[in-house]
């Protein structure tokens, strides 16, 4: 895709969490009591997420400052990260000689049933994105679809989304992803702005869900086998 090829350094991968990272014990943190037996560990605490999001906001402002952009939030899982990222950018703009005028639009990708993906990817609410024509676009996604929870580890999800956005002929496309997963069959694609590179574990919280549950967790946690069975549909 034109404009998307670029050399990436190791720092572009974000904070790398190793495969043997056990996470933090649950009793070190507060979380909704109704999930007390449904989680294995706190994988990334909320405070760490917020600190990393502020750093990404700084990088985005440094790179894209003084350009009008359309922030395209990928729902539902991306809404919290997008809101926090936009808030961080706004705060930085108030204390910087750069500014980043933003408007926010929304798109939804749906491909999961339980912890497995369905064969088809559905793009919801994307039938009329003509506003992207000639604009600088920042796609904000909490879990990068090129290293996702299930079938989209082939990179097909991101390719489908980028092809769709590209069809509206934007001036520029950048992607901010809070999480990318290391999976054997991944495409090697990385977002332009990465929060954390994580192992191939099914994580929930911070708006990431399992059948619509766990979005109310502030931390990113690893779901337990009991939790998967409890909320299975």
Q: Residue ranges of the alpha helices (H) in the chain?
A: 46-64, 79-94, 156-166, 225-230
Between 112 and 196, name the one with better pLDDT.
196
Q: 145 pLDDT band (50/70/90 cuts)? A: very low
CA distances from 104 to 40, 85, 131, 196 (A): 35, 12, 11, 23
Q: Which of 191, 11, 199, 161 is nearest to 85 (CA)?
A: 191
| Percent residues over pLDDT 70 in the chain | 78
Q: Identify the sign of the CA torsion 61, 62, 64, 68.
A: positive
Structure-token pair, residue 210: 């399992």
Q: What span, in angstroms and rounded, lies between the C-alpha atoms of 199 and 182?
A: 5
Between 9 and 179, name the one with better pLDDT.
179
* Domain map (residue ranges) of the chain: 47-201
Catalytic residue among 153, 163, 209, 225: 153
Its CATH class, for the domain covering 47-201, is alpha beta
Is the bond into 5 cis (omega within 30 degrees of 0)?
no
Q: What span, in angstroms and rounded, lies between the C-alpha atoms of 116 and 34?
A: 24
What does pTM read for this prediction?
0.84
CB atoms within 10 A of CB 92: 19
Q: Kindly state the average pLDDT of the residues 58-86.
A: 92
Known catalytic membership, residue 153: yes
């Amino acid at each position: 895709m034109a404009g998307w090829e670029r050399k990436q350094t190791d720092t572009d991968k974000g904070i790398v969490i190793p495969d043997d990272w056990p996470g933090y014990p649950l009793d070190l943190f507060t979380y909704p009591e109704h999930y007390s037996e449904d989680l294995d560990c706190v994988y990334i605490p909320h405070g760490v997420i917020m600190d990393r999001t502020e750093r990404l906001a700084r990088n985005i402002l440094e790179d894209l400052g003084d350009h009008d952009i359309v922030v395209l939030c990928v729902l539902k899982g991306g809404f919290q990260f997008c809101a926090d990222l936009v808030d961080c950018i706004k705060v930085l703009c108030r204390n910087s000689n750069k500014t980043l005028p933003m408007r926010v639009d929304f798109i939804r990708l749906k491909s999961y049933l339980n912890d497995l993906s369905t064969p088809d990817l559905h793009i919801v609410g994307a039938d009329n994105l003509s506003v992207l024509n000639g604009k600088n676009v920042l796609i904000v996604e909490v879990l990068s679809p090129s290293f996702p929870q299930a079938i989209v580890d082939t990179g097909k999800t991101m390719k489908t989304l980028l092809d769709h956005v590209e069809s509206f002929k934007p001036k520029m496309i950048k992607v901010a992803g809070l999480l990318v997963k290391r999976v054997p069959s991944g495409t090697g694609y990385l977002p332009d702005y990465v929060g954390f590179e994580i192992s191939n574990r099914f994580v929930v919280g911070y708006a990431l869900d399992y059948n619509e549950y766990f979005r109310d967790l502030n931390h990113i946690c690893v779901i337990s086998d009991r939790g998967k069975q409890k909320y299975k549909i």
